[in-house]
Amino acid sequence: MIWRLVVLGGVYVLFLGAEGSSRGGRTVTFSRTQQDESQGQGRARQRRDTSSSSGTPRPFHGPPFTSCRTPLTPDEHRVLDDNTQETGFNGDDGAHVILTWVGDGTGVALVLSTFSAPIDSFMTGGSSRLYRSTDYAKSFHDISHQINHTFIREEFEVSVGPGSSVILTADIPVVDHPGGIIFTSTDAGATFKFIQLPFHLAQRITYHFLNPDYLVALSIDGGLWLSLDFGAKWTKVHDGVHSFSWGAGIDMFLSFSREDTVETDERGDLVLKRTTDLGKTFTTIHENIFSFGYIGAFLFFSVMEDPRSPRVMYFSSDQGETFSRALLPSASTEQFYSILDGDVDMLFMHVDNPGDTFFGTMYTSDDRGILFSKSLERHLFDGHRKSDFTNITSLRGVYLTNKLDKDGRIRSVISFNRGGMWRQLNKPENVECEDQVKNCNLHIHGEHSRRNRIVPMLALSEPTAIGLVIAHGTVGDSLSSSQHPDVFVSSDGGYNWRGTLKGPHHYSILDSGGLIVAVETQREGQVKTIKFSTDEGQCWKSYNFTEQPFFFAGLASEPGTKAMNVSVWGFRPEEDGQPMWVVVTIDFQSLITRECNDQDYEEWLAHATDEGDLKRKGCLLGVKETYRRLKKKSVCRNGRGFVVSKKQSPCLCTREDYVCDYGYYRHVNTSECVRQNAANKTLELCLNGEEDELLTAGYRKVPSDRCEGGFNLQLAVQTVIRPCGVKPSLGPPPARSPSPITHFDTARERLVLILVCAGAGVIVLVVIVSAIIAVKGVVQGTSSPVYRFSNLRIQDEDNSITVDLESATSSNGTVCPQDSDDDLIE
């Protein structure tokens, strides 16, 4: 899973999704920072920048805590020594390396090292080296000859698709070449095939998510090309394409420009089309769009219906057959929407507040992506349009994020029911705050902190490690920029936490949660020690994996947490003083030899807390889930065949199974949903091109909630169908049965109509007055908000310490690759 920034109608739409199989945990990039290079070189290469970053004050430590430390026995040390392999990439001049895992459980990894010549040098282009491992990164072999020592385009990485398919893209000049060059492999990189393309690639080739033979490519002249035989033959299926995306099955969506101008998307002149037969025929979905996206089961796009109006969002849950305007606040060109997460049941949407406020409002959708309810106000979104929103994948329904409160401080909140309710995190059980601290809670560092080089990693959870969460955080009233970040762990999906490691670390989950490994971040020194725990971070052992320390770049392990080995990447100076890439792989399988049996597991009821009704203990989203998971005291191997086992039973419905419906919000002091503006329960909305009136009690069930009986709202829904004014598609509208309510014939019905019209007039008047007051407030309130967690400089007001994060050095800013302008779909 990756973050992508998509320009949607001039409004930015950021969404979490998968872009090919080579991303989302399969690919990791390790880099040498300028400071590391200057420290690691005996003498500097003339073509490298050896300037070092200026020193910055060190943050102070937070509240103390203790965690168990157990020394290794001589036998354990000897076993690990016998199962630790070190590989040095002698003579490799790459500034960074890209590690990609191929296939599932194959043990195959490819490493691409590239060196691009500086612009002011006499060299042109650059050089690449390709290495291959078949033993889970224990050893590597140089296979550069398989691709004729060709310079590979670094930004396209090693593109891995379903099965064992691999694509490498050559970096060749456009001039004097009719098309680009790719190398394809169907045997996990054992052999490669040279293919001359009839076009030059504008971006990396996109795999179909199931069939590796189906490839889609966008050329630099806007042509959309399709291959059905893994790149052997290509056919142009459309011209003037701006962006494209696979849909369900073999459906594909694209936006194109009739005028073929660069600024078309800014004017909203793009046309959205769909093909269901791999480019043979196309159907127009909507004209005059800005951009579009596809996530989960939802197609979405933004439209400016009137040149004087803000852009609005439209959603479709049936592959574009029908679509409706999302009931969300509209956004101007200075604002943005952000799709934080989505699946077949619902979407999380962030709507930016006007102005440079660094926050907005988070909404959750219904299962159609149309009705959106307010989930969290003052949701943090920094100046780089980065969010700390995190899906805790180790437990169903859990999400974590940060909010910017009115006092200018950042505080962490967590939801255990898919955004229905949010609350602050509990204080770690082994940490005590000082007396002067009013509110003692755990606050988690997110993407904003990682981007500012405060922490090297984000919160980590895996679906196979039930309930396990590892994250950097600080304890106190709010997230502190001047407090040293420590590592905290939760074993129950975020309900309870425990301090486990002091200072920032890189960490990884192995053996489906049966093993955790960590390496402490050393900003100015070298590393030689790895820590590991077999009881979810309660106790740790340390192992010195090398006698020659090196500058640390990051950790890598096979995705999926099934592996028992981990690789430590870094570099050390060679004999001539030049840096050499080094990888040390430690295999814990020989240390933890016993296979787990039934006595090593326990039944664990998820979401079971001491709060609330004991009868509903463990109920979440309508069901109780009991998992079979490893006991903390059991030291054994789950193994590659481990499968998560759980039992489910339905629960009675309560208000917690409902979110506030459109036009309602949850009151701060109660669990009731309150109407936002008027007392009238009738809400107007546009569904499938028609204007409806929805009668609601203010609640709707959380998508994917499966509760039964209990709290029953008996929602009475009655619609009065009228033309909406905006047609849903360019084709004929679907036939509908006549509405039973089409005329107002009786005196009572006429009276109701008069009262409704009068009420509507009052509402319009109230809205106008409110708008005038709001404009006056904006004009009068000219001062900028106090943002105590600035993306440029972080200042602790109580201690008068200023840390210039632009000059701070990251130990590894590439374990989670940062977004760049390349992620903008123009």
Phi, psi of 274 (to 5 degrees): -135, 140
- Closest CA relative to residue 58, chosen from 503, 529, 525: 503
Per-residue confidence band for 362, with pLDDT thresholds at 50, 70 and 90: very high
| Mean pLDDT value of segment 537-549 | 95
The CATH number that applies at residue 623 is: 2.10.70.80
Give the H/E segment covering residue 79: helix 74-82
Give the H/E segment covering residue 300: strand 298-303
Secondary structure percentages of the chain, helix, strand, coil, to 5: 10, 40, 50
Residues 6+ away with beta carbon under 8 Å from 690: 721, 722, 723, 724
Q: What is the DSSP-derived secondary structure letter of residue 49?
A: -
Output the CA torsion 817→821→822→826 (10° steps): 140
Q: Residue 650: what pLDDT? A: 92
Comparing 65-79, 170-184, 426-440, 800-814, the range with the smallest average pLDDT is 800-814
Handedness of CA 161, 166, 171, 173 (dihedral sign): negative
Q: Are residues 97 and 193 in the same domain?
A: yes
- 175: in domain: yes
- 194: in domain: yes
Token look-up 């196979």 returns: 464
Q: Are residues 142 and 93 in the same domain?
A: yes
Per-residue confidence band for 557, with pLDDT thresholds at 50, 70 and 90: very high
| Mean pLDDT value of segment 690-717 | 72
Comparing 254-268, 269-283, 540-554, the range with the smallest average pLDDT is 254-268
Q: Residue 184: what pLDDT? A: 97
Q: Are residues 106 and 166 in the same domain?
A: yes
Structural domain ending residue among the three candidates 152, 185, 203: 203
Residues 6+ away with beta carbon under 8 Å from 357: 404, 785
pLDDT tens for 211-263 read 999 999 999 999 999 999 999 999 999 999 999 999 999 999 999 988 755 45
- 148: in domain: yes
Choose between 307 and 368: higher pLDDT.
368
Q: In the predicted model, is pLDDT for residue 677 greater than 80?
A: no
Residues 6+ away with beta carbon under 8 Å from 156: 168, 169, 201, 203, 204, 205
- 265: in domain: no
Q: Residue 783: what pLDDT? A: 32
Q: Are residues 186 and 132 in the same domain?
A: yes
Per-residue confidence band for 121, with pLDDT thresholds at 50, 70 and 90: very low
pLDDT tens for 30-73 read 887 544 444 434 333 232 232 223 344 556 677 888 888 999 99
| Mean pLDDT value of segment 305-311 | 70
Phi, psi of 285 (to 5 degrees): -95, -45
Q: How far apart are CA 720 and CA 685, in angstroms?
A: 11
- DSSP secondary structure of 361-428: EEEEE-TTS-BEEEEEEEEE--TT-----EEETTSTTEEEEEEE-TTS-EEEEEESSTTS--EEBPPP
pLDDT tens for 608-650 read 887 666 667 899 889 999 999 999 999 999 999 999 999 999 9
Residues 6+ away with beta carbon under 8 Å from 717: 694, 695, 696
- DSSP secondary structure of 333-372: TT-EEEEEEE-SS-EEEEEEPSSS-SEEEEEEE-TTS-BE
Handedness of CA 377, 378, 382, 388 (dihedral sign): negative
Q: How far apart are CA 465 and CA 561, in angstroms?
A: 8
- 605: in domain: yes
25: three-class secondary structure by DSSP: coil
Comparing 584-593, 632-641, 664-673, the range with the smallest average pLDDT is 664-673
Q: Residue 264: what pLDDT? A: 58
Q: Residue 269: what pLDDT? A: 83
Q: In the predicted model, is pLDDT for residue 3 greater than 50?
A: no
Per-residue confidence band for 285, with pLDDT thresholds at 50, 70 and 90: very high
- DSSP secondary structure of 725-790: SS-S-SSPPPP-PPPS-----SHHHHHHHHHHHHHHHHHHHHHHHHHHHHHHHHHH--SPP--TT-
> Which amino acid type is present at position 157?
E
Q: Residue 172: what pLDDT? A: 87
Q: Are residues 148 and 168 in the same domain?
A: yes
Contact status, residue 419 vs residue 362, Cβ threshold 8 Å = yes
- 398: in domain: no
Q: Are residues 709 and 633 in the same domain?
A: no
Bridge-based pairing state of the strands 565-573 and 551-556: antiparallel
Q: What is the CA angle 69-72-78, rounded to 5?
A: 160
Q: How far apart are CA 552 and CA 583, in angstroms?
A: 10
- DSSP secondary structure of 555-616: EE--TTS--SEEEEEEEEE-TTS-EEEEEEEEEGGGTS-PBP-GGGEEEEETT--SSS-GGG
Q: Are residues 112 and 198 in the same domain?
A: yes
Q: In the predicted model, is pLDDT for residue 402 greater than 60?
A: yes
Q: In the predicted model, is pLDDT for residue 120 greater than 80?
A: no
Q: Residue 726: what pLDDT? A: 40
Count CB neighbours of 155 within 10 A. 12
313 alpha-carbon distance from chain centroid: 21
Structural domain ending residue among the three candidates 177, 203, 229: 203
Q: Are residues 140 and 165 in the same domain?
A: yes
* Portion of the chain with pLDDT greater than 70, in percent: 73
- Closest CA relative to residue 587, chosen from 699, 514, 533, 510: 510
78: three-class secondary structure by DSSP: helix
Q: Residue 92: what pLDDT? A: 82
Q: In the predicted model, is pLDDT for residue 338 greater than 70?
A: yes
Contact status, residue 154 vs residue 94, Cβ threshold 8 Å = no
- Token pair recorded at residue 320: 């574009």
Contact status, residue 225 vs residue 219, Cβ threshold 8 Å = yes
Q: Residue 10: what pLDDT? A: 34
Q: How far apart are CA 329 and CA 312, in angstroms?
A: 8
Q: Residue 456: what pLDDT? A: 92
Count CB neighbours of 805 within 10 A. 19
Contact status, residue 313 vs residue 304, Cβ threshold 8 Å = no
Contact status, residue 185 vs residue 192, Cβ threshold 8 Å = yes
Q: In the predicted model, is pLDDT for residue 288 greater than 90?
A: no
Domain count, the chain: 3
Give the H/E segment covering residue 38: helix 34-40
Q: What is the DSSP-derived secondary structure letter of residue 795?
A: E
Q: In the predicted model, is pLDDT for residue 302 greater than 70?
A: yes
Q: How far apart are CA 356 and CA 679, in angstroms?
A: 33
Q: Residue 694: what pLDDT? A: 62
Q: How far apart are CA 255 and CA 294, in angstroms?
A: 12
Q: In the predicted model, is pLDDT for residue 703 greater than 70?
A: yes
- 378: in domain: no
740 alpha-carbon distance from chain centroid: 47
Residue 138's Cβ-count burial label (10 Å; 0-12, 13-18, 19+) is buried
Structural domain ending residue among the three candidates 671, 699, 723: 723
> Which amino acid type is present at position 431?
V
Residues 6+ away with beta carbon under 8 Å from 530: 517, 518, 519, 542, 543, 545, 566, 568, 586
Per-residue confidence band for 411, with pLDDT thresholds at 50, 70 and 90: very high
Q: What is the CA radius of gyration of the chain?
A: 28
Choose between 15 and 558: higher pLDDT.
558
The CB-side HSE value for 684 (13 A sphere, CA atoms) comes to: 11
Output the CA torsion 386→453→503→423 (10° steps): -10
| Mean pLDDT value of segment 299-317 | 81
Q: Are residues 707 and 628 in the same domain?
A: no
Q: How far apart are CA 332 and CA 150, in angstroms?
A: 46
The CATH number that applies at residue 671 is: 3.30.60.270
Q: Residue 143: what pLDDT? A: 96
Q: Are residues 621 and 665 in the same domain?
A: no
Q: How far apart are CA 518 and CA 560, in angstroms?
A: 17
Q: In the predicted model, is pLDDT for residue 814 greater than 50?
A: no
Q: Which residues of 561-594 are buried (b: 16+ CB within 10 A; e: fewer)?
A: bbbbbbbbbbbbbeeeebbbbbbbbbbbbebbee
Partners of residue 567 on adjacent β-strands: 556, 585
Per-residue confidence band for 422, with pLDDT thresholds at 50, 70 and 90: very high
Q: Residue 60: what pLDDT? A: 66
- 358: in domain: no
Q: Are residues 167 and 111 in the same domain?
A: yes
* Portion of the chain with pLDDT greater than 90, in percent: 47
Choose between 304 and 422: higher pLDDT.
422
Q: Are residues 687 and 607 in the same domain?
A: no
Q: E strands, 32-158, where?
A: 68-69, 84-89, 96-102, 108-116, 126-133, 141-142
Q: In the predicted model, is pLDDT for residue 602 greater than 80?
A: yes
Contact status, residue 212 vs residue 166, Cβ threshold 8 Å = no
Contact status, residue 133 vs residue 109, Cβ threshold 8 Å = yes
Give pTM, 2 decimals.
Answer: 0.79
Output the CA torsion 37→38→41→44 (10° steps): 110
- Measured between alpha carbons, how far apart are the two ends of the chain, in Å? 22
pLDDT tens for 450-485 read 988 899 999 999 999 999 999 999 999 999 877 789
Q: Which residues of 253-265 are buried (b: 16+ CB within 10 A; e: fewer)?
A: bbbbbeeeeeebb
> Which amino acid type is present at position 763?
I
- Token pair recorded at residue 392: 């805790």
Choose between 668 and 793: higher pLDDT.
668
Domain that holds residue 633: 601-653
